[in-house]
Amino acid sequence: MARRLLVLYTGGTIGMDHTPAGLAPVPGLLPKLLDRFRRDDLTIDVVEYPELIDSSAITVAHWNRLIDDIAANYAAYDGFVVIHGTDTMAYTASVLAFALHGLNKPVVLTGSQLPLVHPRSDGWSNLADALEAAAQPNLCEVVLAFNRQLLRGVTARKLDAASFAGFESPNAEPLAEFGIDVAWYRDRWRQPRGEFAPVRLDESAEVLLFMLAPGATAAQIGRTLAERKPAGAVLLSYGNGNAPADPALLDGVRVASAAGSLILNLTQVVHGRVAVGAYAASQPLAQAGALPGADMTPEAAIAKLTVLASQRLESALARALLEKSLVGEFND
Ligand code: ASN
C-alpha cells in the first residue's frame, strides 16, 4: 500500500521568488513544484499555510498551529514533512520533538538555502530526502533533512548561512546520509515510547535566552532575572559552564529560581558540554539554582523550557525532567 504523507508548508526560502522588495514567498508556487515528486508508492497531500512566512517571523502561535495540524491528521498519515525556512528550523524541530509526546511516526523538517526557482537550488535534493525519510516505517522522531544528511531535530543547529551545509549536529551523529545508496543508521534511531499525546504551548509563558560576555552583561542578566522571574531562562555561559561570580548575576539566578523560574546553564561554545565541577568557576551558578544543560543545543533548551512551562508541572518534577534526556537532546 502507498505510504500517505502530509506536507505542511509554512514558508521559507525554498518557495520564494524575486519580488521588488527582495526574495519573498509566493503562494501556490511550491505546491505546484511538488508535483515532480508524485509516484505510485506515495500519496502526498499538501497544506499551504495562509500566511507564508520567512521563518525569522516564527512565533509560539505558529508552533501551536503545527502541533494542532499534526495532531488532527495524525491517524490519517504515515509521515509528515514540514517545509520551513532555515533561520529558525532548529527551534521548530526542537519544539515539535518535545511537544509531540509519544510520537510514533516521522516528522521531517526541510527547506533550502536557494529557492527552488533558482537553477542551482538545493531544495530539490532536500525535498527528495525529506520525503524518503517521512516514508520510513520505523522512524518515530522529529528530524531535519538537509544537505544529504538526516539530523535529529533536537541536536541540529543552523551553523552556516553561506553554504548548502546549513545544518550540523555539533555533538551528535547523523541519523542517515543520502548518497547513491541511503545509509540509514537505524541503530541511532529512537524507539517509540508511550501513547501519542501532544502538548499545546502556553503562548504567554516567558522563556528567555541570555549570553554572557565580559563587561556589563552579567549584572544586567541578573537584574533582568530578578525582575522578570521568567518561566524559563537559558544562560549561555563560557566553556564548560563557567561564569564570573558576579553578585548581581548570582543574586538574579537565586531570586528567580526561588520564585520557580527554570534556569538552564548551557555553554556558548558550539562543541562540548557544561560539566559542573570541571572548573571551580562553574560552581556558583549551580549553587544559585541554575541547572546544568549538558550538551543540549540552545534551540533545544528554549524548546524544552517552553514545553515544560506549558505543562505547568510542579517545580521539582520540571527540574527533574530538565536533567533527563527526554527525546535524545543529550548525547552521551
Ligand atoms: N530567511 C529564510 C527563512 O528562514 C532563510 C532560508 O529559508 N534559507 O525563512
pLDDT value of residue 123? 98
Ligand 1 midpoint to CA 303 (Å) = 19
Return left, alpha or beta for 136; rule: phi > 0 is left, psi -120 to 50 is alpha, else beta. Answer: beta
Please compute Rg for the chain using Cα positions.
20
Is 110 annotated as catalytic? Answer: no
Say yes or no: CB of residue 56 within 6 Å of ligand 1.
yes
- Write down the architecture of domain 207-322 according to CATH: 3-Layer(aba) Sandwich (3.40)
Q: How confident is the model at residue 69 (pLDDT cuts 50, 70, 90)?
A: very high
Confidence of residue 332 (pLDDT cuts 50, 70, 90): low
147 lines ligand 1 (CB under 6 A): no
Whole-number pLDDT of residue 14 = 98
Predicted confidence (pLDDT) at residue 248 exceeds the cutoff of 80: yes
Confirm whether 3-198 and 207-322 share one CATH topology: yes
Write down the catalytic residue from 86, 267, 297, 306.
86
Q: What is the pLDDT of residues 278-309, one digit of tens each?
A: 888 889 999 999 999 999 999 999 999 999 99
Catalytic residue among 13, 267, 297, 306: 13
Q: Which of 27, 42, 108, 37 is nearest to 70 (CA)?
A: 108
Q: In the chain, where are the structural domains located?
A: 3-198, 207-322
Ligand 1 center to 161 CA (angstroms):
9
Q: What's residue 299's pLDDT?
A: 98
Q: What is the pLDDT of residues 153-179, one digit of tens each?
A: 999 999 999 999 999 999 999 999 999
pLDDT in the model for residue 232: 98
Q: How far is CA 32 from CA 10, 27, 217, 245, 306, in A?
A: 15, 10, 49, 57, 35
Kindly indicate the confidence band of residue 33, based on its pLDDT and cuts at 50, 70 and 90: very high
Report the percent of the chain where pLDDT is more than 90: 95
Higher pLDDT, 192 or 69: 69
CA of 16 to the centre of ligand 1 (A): 9
Q: How many angstroms does the Cα of residue 114 sit away from the middle of ligand 1?
A: 9
> Is 13 tagged catalytic?
yes
Assess contact for 325 and 282: CB atoms under 8 A. no
Q: Name the fold adopted by 3-198.
A: Rossmann fold (3.40.50)
C-beta separation of 144 from 97 below 8 A? no
Q: Taking the model in full, what pTM does it have?
A: 0.97
Query: Can you give the pLDDT at residue 154?
Result: 98
Q: Is the CB of 13 under 6 A from ligand 1?
A: yes
Which atom of ligand 1 approaches the CA of 88 most closely?
4
